[in-house]
Amino acid sequence: MRKLVSSGSHLEEPIGFSRACRINNYIAVAGTAPIENGKTVFAGDFYQQTKYCLELSLNAIEEAGGSIDDVLRTRIMLTDISQWEGAAKAHGEIFSQQRPACTFVEVKGFIDHEWLVETEMDAVMSEP
């Protein structure tokens, strides 16, 4: 079984990607930026951008048939690693019970300079 979840981005088809892809009981969520209606949200705020990205990713997992309890790994990419505590606070507020494997990394930048954060998420459902 293969199911694709769209973000609605006009770039999905020409680039060849989906917000999330589910194959059997595995769900992978692509890099998720802090965008709403084509605009960056929470400019300058690592905490709010992280929380927003994680919520978008969880919505994609739910649309693919999974839940927060199925999340096994998250990746938090930051343009300034010294701001990790704000991003970690957002992650902890969402995942304090599930505690998935998590990695924080610093990156040089993203497509849009206002994006301070991108997240990725993987989930495995107990039943396909």
Tell me the C-alpha distance between 109 and 52, whole Å.
18
Position 128 pLDDT exceeds 80: no
Please return the burial class of 116, using the count of CB atoms within 10 Å of its CB with bins 0-12, 13-18 and 19+. buried
Give CA separation, 17 vs 51, 89, 115, in Å: 23, 29, 19
Position 11 pLDDT exceeds 90: no
Whole-prediction pTM value? 0.94
Query: Which amino acid is located at 28 in the chain?
Result: A
Per-residue confidence at 80, pLDDT binned at 50, 70, 90?
A: very high
pLDDT in tens, 18-51: 999 999 999 999 999 999 998 999 999 999 999 9
In this prediction, residue 112 carries a pLDDT of: 95
Tell me the C-alpha distance between 51 and 82, whole Å.
17
Position 127 pLDDT exceeds 80: no
State whether the Cα torsion 53-93-47-105 is positive or negative: negative
Position 113 pLDDT exceeds 70: yes
All residues at 6 or more sequence positions from 14 whose CB lies less than 8 Å from its CB, including other chains: none
Name all domains of the chain by residue range, CATH numbers in brackets. 2-124 (3.30.1330.40)
In this prediction, residue 91 carries a pLDDT of: 98
Hunting for tokens 């606070």 — which residue is that? 89
